[in-house]
Structure 1
Amino acid sequence: MLTATLLLIAVLCAGVLIRVPYAEMSPGPTVDTLGEHNGEPVLNIEGRRTYEASGHLNMTTVRVTGADYRMNLVEALYGWLADDSAVVPHSTLYPDDKSAEEVREENAEEFSQSLESAKVAALRELEIPVGERVVVASVVKGGPAQGRLHAGDVIRAVDGEPVEQPDDVARLVTEHEPGEDVVFTVVPAKRAEAAEKKGEEPTGGRDVTVTTTAADDDKRAIVGIRAGLDHTFPFEIDIKLADVGGPSAGLMFALGIVDKLTKGDLTGGEFVAGTGTIDGEGAVGPIGGIQMKTIAARDKGAEYFLTPEDNCAGALRDVPDGLTLVKVGTIDDALEALEDIREGNEAGLPRCTAG
């Protein structure tokens, strides 16, 4: 018995000391997009009439272990056995080719983009005009454009040819050979931002010449920028939510905006939570950590969970008691499901089903 006890102690000590290349996911906080967070409204709309809304439209999150944290064997075994956590390879959350800071920046950028897409999708759903313009989304450090073009600059033309989509910029640049000059007609970011605050379109522009270089993987001409679409809105929509990353809250923010801008309650006073990416056209995409999010939603009190259709199979593996999984593929699907919920039409709800 003494020998067995000593062996058990030795195994436990080894389990605590041995580090394994895994990370843990667990249910994170949920936030009502119709309510307040840290004493401030999550959604604040100015310049347009808004309406009070009851019920909940909660976005959900996943809590993960830090990039620098290394689980020991005992923690990993406990996480594998627990119902409210998931143990995954460390590289799934933190790729080996990216630093912890790069992962944080990428998550922050995805979250910011999801808010932009949520605003666009919501206003288009309400048939409120949204302006578009091509901008410099990012500048590669050490690239030819560094110091000459800046994130947020509005790109009017390349070599005198007007651009309407980000792909136009890449096409016009790659028509050059490496070492040739490209002329960008841009409105500086600060001037564009000042005009937007006044509710005006930025005017004028200046020519900026950038000498191309060859891409590392082939002989394409590049200037070291990523072009993107920026949107202008007819009124201000401010979303305040710190310490959240990734694109998965887009759907719930879009629904929150629609609810604030329309009479009545989308939820009929019910507690609805959900997740899903969204694009400017209202298409809902899948996300990670779906089981952790359904647990978080139910623990908070949700009775319905808006689930991206591509996540239904994963969500069905372990559905918390009392939570109805509602399948959605677009913002229209979500709005129709909410209509069924507030009218008590349980039979009409598009539920997640096996297969």
Structure 2
Amino acid sequence: MNRRFTTLTFGAIPVFALAALVNLDHIPGTNIALTVPYAAEGPGPMFNTLGKVNDVDVVQITGTDVDHTSGNLNMTTVSVRTNMTLVQAISRWLLTSDNLVPIDQVIPQNKTEEEVNQLNQQAFLSSESSATTAALRYLKKPLEVEIAEVVAGSPADGSLSAGDRIVSIAGEKVDSGGHAQKIVRSKKPGDDITVTVRHQGTTEEKTITLAEHPSDKKLPFLGISMTTVPTGDITVKYNLEDVGGPSAGMMFALAVIDKLSPGQLNHGKYVVGTGTIDDDGNVGHIGGIEHKARAAADDNAELFLAPKDNCADLRGKDFGAMKIVSVATLEDAVTQMDNYAAGKDLHLCE
């Protein structure tokens, strides 16, 4: 009996040693990584855009009356795990609903993880601006273009300032950053262009000579980044941290509409959705749709708003009693919520 015990004990040592080795993310004493070239994607947390996070409204509107809201207009996220050991990757594949995808799909070969995170954060900020613009256009409220940043050493440097409100460019009144960029792009490097701004309460007209764009010498370069904002004292602020990418745009826009219009946009229902948004209210394709729909269904959501271009990704999947509808525009999303509450036909993802 003692011999058998000894054999089992010592015979197990290589197994334990191997398990410890496989769980290491680098060779001890070196910088040589032992991680697999895959990432795990799975359902991430949801946030109610009508609710609060850390006691602050997720979508905070000041400078005007805000209507009472209730129920849910949840935005969804995808959790991404990288730098996994072989054991960790296999465990997530076997024991969770995560998908394993090549790491290049998450972090392109020419980018670092930090650079990808920065790009995702920029996309998130851009989606916030587009959400505000799309929502206020839907509500037919006036908009202005504000200069967010002036590039150092650019043609605009010294003439324009962050915080200036752009009234017109080349004599044409502008009401969105996209419109302003279109006017500038109609010119050529070397052309003079007039930019009329409100600077610290005073209207000023600036004549600026356009330069060659750093990334394409054929394009004109003014050197400003812009955001579309409400006129007057209305401000819209989004209070979510550690979330990246553009896919919250549609749900942010719906929250703004709900708060600035009478009645309940969701009719008090548990509505979840995802999709990018542009200034004109068009809803675009996003990644990880199955994980997002799964998280919503698991939380007993009643209605899921999915971008039209993502419907094929959900075909044949079972999400229980939750209804998944196809939306191509902000107006579609509002109509589908109205129809659901009224018991009318829905444009289902089928």
TM-score of the two chains, using structure 2 as the length reference = 0.78
Identical aligned residues as a percent: 37
Residue 225 (structure 1) aligns with: 223
Residue 23 (structure 2) aligns with: 16
Matched, 1:94 2:93: no
1:350 corresponds, among 328, 331, 347, to 347
What pairs up with 1:165-180 in 2 under 5 angstroms? Answer: 165=179, 166-174=181-189, 176=190
Q: In the alignment, is the contact (CA less than 8 A) between 1:79 and 1:85 conserved in 2?
A: yes
Shift of 1:139: 5.4
Residue 241 (structure 1) aligns with: 240
> Helix, strand or coil for the counterpart of 1:63?
strand
What pairs up with 1:132-281 in 2 under 5 angstroms? Answer: 132-133=144-145, 153=164, 164=174, 165=179, 166-174=181-189, 176=190, 185=195, 187=197, 191=199, 195=201, 203-205=202-204, 207=206, 212=211, 215=214, 219-220=217-218, 223=221, 225=223, 228=226, 230-234=228-232, 235-281=234-280
Matches of 2:212 and 2:255 in 1, distance apart?
A: 45
1:31 corresponds, among 40, 47, 68, to 47
> Helix, strand or coil for the counterpart of 1:204?
strand
Per-residue deviation, residues 20-58 of structure 1 (Å, max 9, x unmatched): 122222221111112222212223333433332222111
Matches of 1:251 and 1:137 in 2, distance apart?
A: 22
Per-residue deviation, residues 133-175 of structure 1 (Å, max 9, x unmatched): 3x656556776766776555556677x665743122233243x
1:129 corresponds, among 141, 156, 159, to 141
Per-residue deviation, residues 276-322 of structure 1 (Å, max 9, x unmatched): 11122221111111122122223333122111111112133544333
What pairs up with 1:53-64 in 2 under 5 angstroms? Answer: 53-64=69-80
How many residue pairs align between the two structures? 328
Per-residue deviation, residues 91-110 of structure 1 (Å, max 9, x unmatched): 32222333444333322222
What pairs up with 1:49-128 in 2 under 5 angstroms? Answer: 49-65=65-81, 69-126=82-139, 128=140
| Cα distance change on mapping 1:233 and 1:111 into 2, 3 Å | farther
Shift of 1:242: 2.1
What amino acid does structure 2 have at the position aligned with 1:40? V
- Range with bigger deviation, 146-155 or 224-233: 146-155
What amino acid does structure 1 have at the position aligned with 2:87? V
What amino acid does structure 2 have at the position aligned with 1:352? C
> Helix, strand or coil for the counterpart of 2:100?
strand
Residue 43 (structure 1) aligns with: 59
Matches of 1:221 and 1:262 in 2, distance apart?
A: 41
Matches of 1:314 and 1:11 in 2, distance apart?
A: 39
Q: In the alignment, is the contact (CA less than 8 A) between 1:266 and 1:342 conserved in 2?
A: no
Shift of 1:241: 2.0
Shift of 1:230: 2.6
| Cα distance change on mapping 1:315 and 1:7 into 2, 3 Å | farther
Matches of 1:23 and 1:334 in 2, distance apart?
A: 32
Residue 308 (structure 1) aligns with: 307
- Range with bigger deviation, 18-27 or 233-242: 233-242
What amino acid does structure 2 have at the position aligned with 1:237? V
| Cα distance change on mapping 1:206 and 1:266 into 2, 3 Å | closer
* Contiguous gaps of at least 5 residues in structure 2: 1-6, 25-33
What amino acid does structure 2 have at the position aligned with 1:169? V
Shift of 1:83: 4.8
> Helix, strand or coil for the counterpart of 2:65?
coil
What amino acid does structure 1 have at the position aligned with 2:93? W
Q: In the alignment, is the contact (CA less than 8 A) between 1:267 and 1:341 conserved in 2?
A: no
Q: In the alignment, is the contact (CA less than 8 A) between 2:136 and 2:230 conserved in 1?
A: no
Residue 282 (structure 1) aligns with: 281
> Helix, strand or coil for the counterpart of 1:298?
helix
Q: In the alignment, is the contact (CA less than 8 A) between 2:48 and 2:74 conserved in 1?
A: yes
| Cα distance change on mapping 1:313 and 1:53 into 2, 3 Å | same
User: Cα RMSD (Å) of the superposition?
Assistant: 3.4
- Range with bigger deviation, 53-62 or 35-44: 35-44
Matches of 2:155 and 2:323 in 1, distance apart?
A: 53
Shift of 1:84: 2.2
Q: In the alignment, is the contact (CA less than 8 A) between 2:68 and 2:259 conserved in 1?
A: yes
Q: In the alignment, is the contact (CA less than 8 A) between 1:215 and 1:222 conserved in 2?
A: no
Matches of 2:73 and 2:167 in 1, distance apart?
A: 39
Q: Larger Cα Rg: Structure 1 or Structure 2?
A: 2
| Cα distance change on mapping 1:156 and 1:99 into 2, 3 Å | farther
Matches of 1:100 and 1:225 in 2, distance apart?
A: 28
